[in-house]
Structure 1
């Protein structure tokens, strides 16, 4: 079969793989269960059937890990995988190329605007996930379109520098500088400095939290909201969820070590609050927070601990765990009905968080 595929153009291979994947995930549940295998139950949770089937299919195609022999290989692998799981293009969103000024130079960005939204309004500065090593504007295009359309707000996706070419704190510096650029140019982006939120998934959630903490510590206009999707918030210790879900659920224990070794190879420096934001002792006054976790995610426990610490510091927090899902589910929203349902609920949480600001 592999030799036969070698003569098929790569674009057609991806189209065929995508069609097969989406077709299989739409099978009746009894048939899908036969593909997925026996239900997976851990820590009082049961993995969603569609997600279990997706993981099974990825394992059959050798896409069980995010890491690779080289950063370039991992980046290409992430893009290939998302091209297969991606659904039909989300319509009704205008996308334009932008750039943001940082101390390291100009960074590429994309501005997403719902076509019916013409008046100035809220803007979400979005930092993509990928362990600070992989991911870019393209890998998170579907997610940003979804957020813009269904949360009815503008989204500016920022393409920050990646490790190991640019190790810690390069990504954190880019995130902070991008936020400052948005504050300075809010009107040009269809917003105002009083209506800027920050958000991201995984490593991007870490960067959004870094920005929120930096703003308070340095007297900048604070974002109106932190929107954190299963964020990485503590690189200094291993929690129970990493032991429970470190293998077989997309993001592996080995992946996490690989990413961290690329981003901050000096173990003695991993408690730096610009990386381990959970360890910052000054959390009072931070922006209201929407923090989303997944039950079968190695990062689950640290994300939920951060939500508890924020709440204890008096920060308004909306914390929601999807007990049947895995790390990275927001990037797989086009693959199945269950994942889209979860993302519609997540958008509802985002809208609720922004409503706190408008009251």
Structure 2
């Protein structure tokens, strides 16, 4: 029944938005935030929280002879819009990938996004060895405006 209700909302989202009853981006986030992780035979995929910030971790299943690299990926793409990209990064580079689900504008104005991303990366840096990651091999990246977040967080960490 829930899926029928969501479909009805999707179909009528623009009409409801024009009446001032509803905002379409809220519906997109509601649906996106509830999408489960895709299964992947080569990865363990876990939804966790780093100090209250939701993250999804992609861990390669194959054992590694040495500590792995880690990629922290910032994106605001409706919950898990970049899920396929994160799986690709983890599989192809044999790295642990952390996708940070920071709070989004307009409901959460800046600098909330920056603070959430900074919190997540600090948490991971402190616990990297728990995930088989070499703390000296952690990188951050982001797509579109999240490239700006990536640069800002990296500068804060370095200073």
TM-score (norm 2): 0.73
Please report how far the alpha carbon of residue 170 of structure 1 lies from its aligned counterpart in structure 2 after TM superposition. Answer: 0.3
1:94 lines up with 2:44 in the alignment: yes
Q: Is the 8 A contact 1:99 1:107 kept in 2?
A: yes
Q: Is the 8 A contact 2:53 2:119 kept in 1?
A: no
Q: Is the 8 A contact 1:129 1:205 kept in 2?
A: no
Partner of 1:165: 107
Q: Is the 8 A contact 2:67 2:133 kept in 1?
A: yes
Matches within 5 A, 1:123-134: 123-130=70-77
Higher relative contact order by CA 8 Å / sep ≥ 6: 1 or 2? 2
Q: Is the 8 A contact 1:186 1:192 kept in 2?
A: yes
Partners of 1:158 and 1:189 in 2: how far apart? 16
Please report how far the alpha carbon of residue 186 of structure 1 lies from its aligned counterpart in structure 2 after TM superposition. Answer: 1.2
Please report how far the alpha carbon of residue 90 of structure 1 lies from its aligned counterpart in structure 2 after TM superposition. Answer: 4.5
Rg: which structure is higher?
A: 1
Q: 1:108 aligns with which of 54, 57, 66?
A: 54
Please report how far the alpha carbon of residue 121 of structure 1 lies from its aligned counterpart in structure 2 after TM superposition. Answer: 1.2
Please report how far the alpha carbon of residue 72 of structure 1 lies from its aligned counterpart in structure 2 after TM superposition. Answer: 0.5
1:72 lines up with 2:35 in the alignment: no
Partner of 1:200: 142
Instruction: Give unpaired runs (5+ residues) of structure 1.
Output: 1-8, 14-61, 63-67, 219-359
Matches within 5 A, 1:260-339: none
Partners of 1:162 and 1:129 in 2: how far apart? 7
* DSSP-derived class of the 1:192 partner: strand
* DSSP-derived class of the 1:98 partner: strand
Aligned length: 137
Please report how far the alpha carbon of residue 190 of structure 1 lies from its aligned counterpart in structure 2 after TM superposition. Answer: 1.7
Partners of 2:68 and 2:47 in 1: how far apart? 19
Partner of 1:179: 121
Structure number with higher strand proportion: 2
Q: Is the 8 A contact 1:183 1:192 kept in 2?
A: no
Please report how far the alpha carbon of residue 156 of structure 1 lies from its aligned counterpart in structure 2 after TM superposition. Answer: 1.0
TM-score (norm 1): 0.35
Matches within 5 A, 1:28-107: 69-75=23-29, 79=32, 90-101=40-51, 106-107=52-53
Partners of 1:99 and 1:73 in 2: how far apart? 23
Partners of 1:99 and 1:163 in 2: how far apart? 20
Q: Deviations over 1:238-297 (max 9, x none)?
A: xxxxxxxxxxxxxxxxxxxxxxxxxxxxxxxxxxxxxxxxxxxxxxxxxxxxxxxxxxxx
